Amino acid sequence: MDYVLNFHWKIVDLMFLINPNKFNQVADYIFRPILVLSILLFSLGLLFSFYISPNDYQQGSSVRIMYVHVPSAWLALLTYGIMTLYSIAALAFKIPFGFIFNTAVAPIGAIFTLICIISGSLWGKPMWGTWWVWDARLTSVAILFIIYLIIIFINLSFENRILREKIVAIFILVGSVNLPIIKFSVDWWNTLHQPATISKLSKPSIDPSMLTPLIIMTLAFMMIGLAIAILRIKTEIISRKSHLN
Amino acid sequence: MLFFNKIIYFYYREYKLNLSGFQDILTNIIFFFLSIFIFIFSIGPDKETISNIGLGIVWTLLLLSSTLSLRKFYQDDFESGNLLILHLNGFSFGFIAILKTLSHFFFVQVPFLISLPIASILLNIASDKLIYLFSSFAIGSLILSCLGSISSSMNLMNQKNFLLGSVIVMMLSIPVIIFSVGVINFEENFNSLINILFGILLIVFAINPWAGGLCLKLSLENS
């Protein structure tokens, strides 16, 4: 009960987004709720997506792959977008927390992209009849995966930390050209991959019985990504404080 | 000394260096032709197949052989200290990146223009398509030079893993390959595709001084 009553007003401050010390304090406060929330949301989402949501009239039961595929794809893009914002902040306004964030979060984005590609090809085999198509959306997501891998490799192969983190930030900015290509590839080219079903401006063309598990799974993926990100950022801060790299 | 004279002396020096190391460029061209031979041996000498996929092969191999010479791009000048001397002479790092990119274009990529007609004979490409190949090469090779400048300036201080530079160039050059092969295969929308290619060139040419110059500055600061 103490935990709930001692509300951390630093969350409202938002300075914890760019200040490592405040981030540590806030992260200690919100880490356990996020972990509990991610477990709850994950069990609820899996329950919804495996038992409660209906079968598709065409795809049958394999539509349930979507509840993993779409959230991981969104989060792969979201992670890269946040990394781009932090790179701009780090290079332009000299905020070193951006470098910490980039180093810590790149593997998470890579794993989300890998989940997206693998689940997509598992879905594609029964539906399209092939594991892989040379389609604009699929190719651009594969390039996103390679970009994440190159970011990790740059982090591994440079000796000098100050040089390395800046070069990673520059590379992220150069590679962010890929983000709008991924987003609009289904609109610009005539692709096999279906266009976006859920958009902000119009009413979604997905039934509420399928939209509910999708949103719950997205929140669950977000929470679990956030939990891992908090752990990795805290580790990175500690290793920088003790000059381990 | 006038600023313009400095640029002329810079290119005179580049010309001298490339003339003394002309066997490097020749080795690039030999690599290009040998890879064509190997491609044809692995596919089989069927004329129909070769003329279908020949243009793709030419562009892939141009990309690969231009990544071979990436090591020369800034590394020699960086290690001998010439980059610092250039900067002390009043060139900003971004301007050095532009100058080196153009010099790479003139002295490494343009010699490939001589080899393109011969390659088109070997790969059974129709001679009326050669003009498309030339025009797409003239724009695409400058894009490849800019990308090479970005990636090799990123990898100046990278002692462990130099192949990363080639990987970065190959990853960034995917749109170039798509549109420049499209220019040749879809002649009816030649104009629109060449405009897209030119747009990519302008974007990359604008990014190059910023990214390349910043990486040069960082490497010189931390060396």
* pLDDT tens by residue, A142-159: 999 999 999 999 888 888
Taking the Cβ of residue A166 and every Cβ of chain B, the question of whether any pair is shorter than 8 Å is answered with yes
Amino acid A101: pLDDT: 93
Per-residue pLDDT of B153-182, as tens digits, reads 888 888 787 788 888 888 888 888 888 887
Q: Cα–Cα distance between A243 and A26 in angstroms, integer?
A: 23
Yes or no: say if A230 and A27 are a contact pair by the CB < 8 Å rule. Answer: yes
Q: Do residues A103 and A151 touch, judged by C-beta distance below 8 A?
A: no
Tell me the residue range of the domain where A170 lies. 35-240
Asked if residue A61 belongs to a domain, the reply is yes
CA B157 to chain centre: 21
Looking at the domain assignment, is residue A25 inside a domain? no
Tell me the pLDDT band of A6, cut-offs 50, 70 and 90.
Answer: low
pLDDT (average), residues A81-97: 92
Written as one letter, the residue type at B100 is K
Give the nearest partner residue to A174 out of B150, B164, B218, using CB atoms. Answer: B150
B207 Cβ under 8 Å from any chain A Cβ: yes
Query: How does pLDDT run across A122-141, given as a tens digit for each residue?
Result: 988 888 888 888 888 888 89
Residue-level pLDDT at A10: 61
* Interchain contact A143–B (C-beta under 8 A): yes
Is the model's pLDDT at B89 over the cut of 80?
yes
Q: How confident is the model at residue A9 (pLDDT cuts 50, 70, 90)?
A: low
Q: Dihedral through CA A137, CA A139, CA A140, CA A144, nearest 10?
A: 130
pLDDT in tens, B18-59: 888 888 888 888 998 999 999 888 988 888 888 888 888 888
Q: From the CA of A173, how many Å to the nearest CA of chain B?
A: 9
- Given this model, what pLDDT does residue B182 score? 78
C-alpha distances (whole Å) from A100 to each of A103, A226, B119 are 5, 15, 49
Measured CA to CA, the distance from residue A208 to residue B146 in angstroms comes to 49
pLDDT of residue A231: 94
pLDDT at A71: 93
State the nearest Cα–Cα gap between A86 and chain B, in angstroms. Answer: 17
Q: Is residue A13 part of a domain?
A: no
Q: Do B222 and A171 touch (CB under 8 A)?
A: no
pTM: 0.88
Question: How far, in Å, CA of B170 to CA of B70, rounded?
Answer: 12
* Residue A65 resides in a domain: yes
Residue A55 lies in a domain: yes
Report the C-alpha gap between A177 and A194 in whole angstroms: 22
In a domain, A235, yes or no: yes
> Domain for residue A198, yes or no?
yes
CB interface of B with A, residues 129-188, below 8 Å: 150, 154, 157-161, 164, 167-168, 171-172, 174
Query: Are residues A167 and B161, on separate chains, in Cβ contact within 8 Å?
Result: no
Contact B128, B45 (CB under 8 A): no
Taking the C-alpha atoms of residue B82 and residue B78, their distance in angstroms, rounded to an integer, is 6
Nearest to A162 among B164, B172, B222 (CB): B222
Helix, strand or coil, per DSSP, at residue A193: coil
Structural domains of chain A, count = 1
Confidence (pLDDT) at B18: 86
pLDDT value, residue A14? 78
Residues of B in contact with A156 (CB under 8 A): 161
Is residue A8, in this structure, part of any structural domain at all? no
pLDDT for A3 beyond 70: no
Residue of B nearest to A152 (CA): B164
